[in-house]
Amino acid sequence: MVGGDWANCLVITVQSPVELSHFVAVGKNLAVALCARDTLAGLLLSHLPPVLSARRCLIVEGKATIRGAPILYRGALLPLSDDGVAIDHVLGAANHRTLLADDPRTTPVVRKRWV
């Protein structure tokens, strides 16, 4: 259903406590090592607690360092529920690009928008 976009998507199974939540599917562009550190997937996972408490979609963008390279990224986390009450999964999608040498250098800022 998502076709070629799946390479930039992931699904997180929500557990209680939230620290036990984990990836159940990760597209190839996000799946460097399936670890919560130093990957774009891990960056999205770090935004899980506020998504669960707000019960809303979060769009996040900013600068980060992934595997030693500075990047610009944009992603979204969408809470999902089988019963319409409890959030049991979160669908995520993200893309990024490496900062180029001639890109303006600014302070890393993370912008969040609730949808």
Q: Express each pLDDT in 62-83 by its tens digit.
A: 888 777 788 888 999 999 999 9
114 three-state secondary structure = strand
Q: What is the mean pLDDT of the chain?
A: 85
The two three-digit tokens of residue 7, written as one number: 């390479």
3-state secondary structure 33-78: CCCCCCCHHHHHHCCHHHHHHHCCCEEEEEEEEECCEEEEEEEEEE
Q: Round to whole Å and give the CA distance between 96 and 92.
A: 14
Q: Round to whole Å and give the CA distance between 59 and 101.
A: 27
Residue 108: predicted pLDDT: 60
Q: Round to whole Å and give the CA distance between 19 and 47.
A: 12
Contact yes or no for 29/7 (Cβ under 8 A): yes
Number of residues written out for the chain: 115
Residue 33: predicted pLDDT: 45
Q: Round to whole Å and give the CA distance between 19 and 7.
A: 25
Stronger pLDDT, 54 or 102, i.e. the higher one:
54
Contacts of 110 (CB under 8 A, 6+ apart): 60, 61, 62, 63
Enumerate domains of the chain plus CATH numbers.
3-114 (3.30.450)
Q: For 33-65, what is each residue's pLDDT tens digit?
A: 445 456 788 888 889 999 999 999 999 998 887
Does residue 103 surpass a pLDDT of 60? Answer: yes
Residue 1: predicted pLDDT: 56
